[in-house]
């Protein structure tokens, strides 16, 4: 796989056929968004925060928790532009890109944190691969590993997408299709496949 340069990114954004086109919308400022080999993306308005006081643990082997309680561990909040979101040290929050992304079947992307934020202790955590054919706002996980709270503002440049052309075409078939904001985790489809590895509840 090769990394797309700025010029190649623009070529994909201008493809005549919609199914071959790289879609990034809204693209507020092209010069600010495009780097020599990446696309800068902005922070969206919605966040999923953890409710530590609600339950002692989250056990994904408990089918009742997966089907009825997992969202009770977390709250989704929305804040306005020019309003700050405070991320405290050692806290995890789930956000998303402001932009809606549409990848053609021969492009994939990695989400990478920006170095300026990294030097302040803000880490974009896991799940940073975006498969070919994905469409939606990209969910981002943030952890403040610094010593002081960090204030985040919707609309600021928060991360960058490094795009790769694949050697063949593929189609996204994941469980988070066409999201328009951060998504709650979904382990329900894994329960039966992973059941062998869970403890037998009848033994306890």
- Both tokens of 180, joined, read 């328009």
43: helix, strand or coil: strand
Whether omega before 148 lies within 30 degrees of 0, making that bond cis, reads no
d(CA 98, CA 93): 16
Q: How many CA atoms lie within 13 A of 118 on its CB side?
A: 8
Backbone angles phi, psi at 188, to 5 degrees: -60, -35
By the 10 Å C-beta count (0-12 exposed, 13-18 middle, 19+ buried), 133 is classed as: buried
Active site residue 20: no
8 A C-beta contact, residue 141 and residue 125: yes
Return the residue matching tokens 């170095």: 115
Catalytic residue (choose from 141, 145, 165, 192): 141
d(CA 125, CA 118): 11
Catalytic annotation, residues:
141
């Amino acid at each position: 796989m090769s990394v797309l340069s700025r010029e190649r990114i623009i070529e994909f954004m201008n493809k005549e056929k919609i199914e071959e086109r790289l879609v990034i919308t809204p693209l507020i400022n092209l010069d600010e968004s495009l780097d020599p080999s990446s696309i800068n993306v902005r922070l969206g308005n919605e966040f999923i925060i953890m409710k530590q006081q609600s339950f002692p643990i989250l056990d994904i082997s408990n089918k009742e928790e997966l089907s009825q309680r997992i969202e009770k561990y977390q709250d989704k909040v929305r804040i306005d532009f020019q309003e700050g979101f405070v991320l405290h040290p050692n806290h995890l929050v789930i956000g998303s890109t402001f932009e809606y992304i549409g990848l053609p079947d021969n492009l994939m992307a990695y989400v990478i944190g920006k170095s300026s934020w990294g030097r302040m202790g803000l880490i974009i955590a896991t799940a940073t691969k975006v498969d070919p054919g994905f469409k939606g706002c990209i969910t981002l996980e943030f952890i403040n590993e610094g010593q002081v709270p960090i204030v985040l503002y919707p609309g600021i440049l928060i991360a960058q997408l490094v795009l790769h052309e694949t050697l063949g075409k593929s189609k996204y078939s994941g469980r988070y299709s066409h999201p328009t904001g951060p998504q709650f985790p979904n382990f329900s489809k894994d329960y039966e496949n992973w059941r062998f590895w869970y403890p037998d509840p009848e033994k306890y």
